[in-house]
Amino acid sequence: MTGTSKPTPKNDLLLRALLRQPVERTPVWMMRQAGRYLPEYRATRERAGSFLKLCMTPELACEVTLQPLERFPLDAAILFSDILTIPHALGLGLQFETGEGPRIERPVRSKADVEKLGVPDPHVELRYVMDAVSLIRKELNGRVPLIGFAGSPWTVGTYIVEGGSSREFSRIKTMMYNEPATLRALLQLLADSTRAYLNAQIAAGAQAVMIFDTWGGVLTPAQYREFSLHYMQSILHGLTREAEGRRVPVILFTKGAGDWLSTMAQTGCDALGVDWTTDLGDARRLVNDRVALQGNLDPNCLYAAPERIREEVGRVLASYGNGHGHVFNLGHGIHPAVPPEHAGAMIAAVHELSPQYHTPR
């Protein structure tokens, strides 16, 4: 479903900023901007009956994707989905336990387990995601760009091997030390699956894509390069980079990767997400303006009073400094207990304070 018939975004600040092109102000969106902090999301989730049903019903996924845009003047929509759609498509028995997070009923822990797996067809097993992307694009009608996304092979692999969320990552790290060939085979299969999945999202209408590597920061620097970054680069090498007559920017985000940003910038991505533990000025020097940067307000800041939020927004903007190539975001996803009006205060502050950093000097 490619082609030039889809409307060009009336607001394309995000796409320009990700490509380090001139913008009038810094674009802003939030990771997890469609989520539990919004009462309207909670109502739709209740109607759906389960989180998985919400993800797998295109009309409901579209509804919650658009909810934050009805409330806030954001510069992008991000597809409502989950990073574990690929394990679900692999038939590993994904369940979401209330209060406990995701659970994989049939974890992958041996060479034989890996050999049973094949790359899912995104137009068959993940058709519901593509239908949601197409519907969201239609409903957006060019208002703002739509971001598609996937989890990184390493991060998705942690859930597949551990059987769910983990603090110690003992099972996957044991595999990494004792059976590295088995882990590499699993990660390559996930990279191939993720590349096909993201390309299908782009064909369905995603105008930028982001790869979330939530758990890359639990690795040593050498392990990160071998078991996380290598497989994200593998995805990039076969990714569709142009659709509808313009470039499709790719954002890589590894939580806790401050020291590795320079290496990440060499992958061929267009932008890097930066968490709140790294100063944006330091990050900008590390990448030497080769890529755009996205971030990086501490999500906990949104519990503060609106005037403090405004101060911190100003500090983040100043840390990046003058020039283009910055997308304002949180350093990770918005917390469920944040008052929606505090998110609104952050967005308003970006609108108010960022234009000064984009005027010729």
* 32 among annotated binding-site residues: yes
**Over pLDDT 70: what percentage of the chain?**
98
Q: What is d(CA 296, CA 327) in angstroms, rounded to the nearest whole number?
A: 9
The predicted model scores a pTM of 0.96
- pLDDT digit string (tens) for 94-112? 998 776 789 999 999 999 9
Residues involved in catalysis:
32, 36, 45, 82, 159
Residue 82 marked ligand-binding: yes
d(CA 136, CA 80): 10
The verdict on whether residue 282 carries a ligand-binding annotation is no
Q: Confirm or deny that 35 is annotated as ligand binding.
A: yes
What pLDDT, in 10s, does the model give residues 168-196? 999 999 999 999 999 999 999 999 999 99
Nearest Cα residue to 252 out of 153, 360, 137:
153
For residue 101, the model assigns a pLDDT of: 84
Of 144, 126, 135, 149, nearest to 239 by C-alpha is 149
Q: Is 34 annotated as a binding residue?
A: yes
25-47: b (≥16 Cβ within 10 Å) or e: bbbbbbbbbbbebbeebeebbee
C-alpha–C-alpha distance, residues 87 and 94, integer Å = 7
Cβ(187)–Cβ(127) below 8 Å = no
**Using 50, 70 and 90 to split pLDDT, how confident is the model at 348?**
very high
- What is the per-residue pLDDT across 287-326, written as a single tens digit (0 to 9) for each? 999 999 999 999 999 999 999 999 999 999 999 999 999 9
Q: What is the mean pLDDT of the chain?
A: 96
The values of phi and psi at residue 56, to 5°, are -95, 0
pLDDT digits (tens, 9 = 90+) for 20-58: 999 999 999 999 999 999 999 999 999 999 999 999 999
Structural domains of the chain, with CATH: 29-280 (3.20.20.210)
Cβ(52)–Cβ(246) below 8 Å: no
What lies within 8 Å, CB to CB, of 324 at 6+ separation is: 16, 17, 20, 21, 22, 23, 358
Model confidence pLDDT, tens digit, residues 124-181: 999 999 999 999 999 999 999 999 999 999 999 999 999 999 999 999 999 999 999 9
237 is in an annotated binding site: no
User: How far apart, in whole angstroms, are the C-alpha atoms of residue 311 and residue 74?
Assistant: 20
Q: How many residues does the chain have?
A: 361
Give the model's pLDDT for residue 277.
Answer: 97
157 is in an annotated binding site: no
Peptide linkage before 296 cis (omega within 30 of 0)? yes
Q: By the 8 A CB rule, do 240 and 281 touch?
A: no
At 102, give phi and psi (nearest 5°).
-75, 150
The pLDDT of residue 209: 98
Can you say how many angstroms the Cα of residue 134 is from the centroid of all Cα atoms in its chain? 18
Yes or no: say if 313 and 356 are a contact pair by the CB < 8 Å rule: no
Asked if 273 and 210 touch (Cβ cutoff 8 Å), the reply is yes
Q: How would residue 78 be classed by pLDDT, with cut points 50, 70 and 90?
A: very high
Number of CB atoms found within 10 A of residue 348's CB: 18
Confidence bin at 1 (pLDDT 50/70/90):
very low
Give yes or no for a contact between 34 and 81, defined as CB atoms under 8 angstroms apart.
no
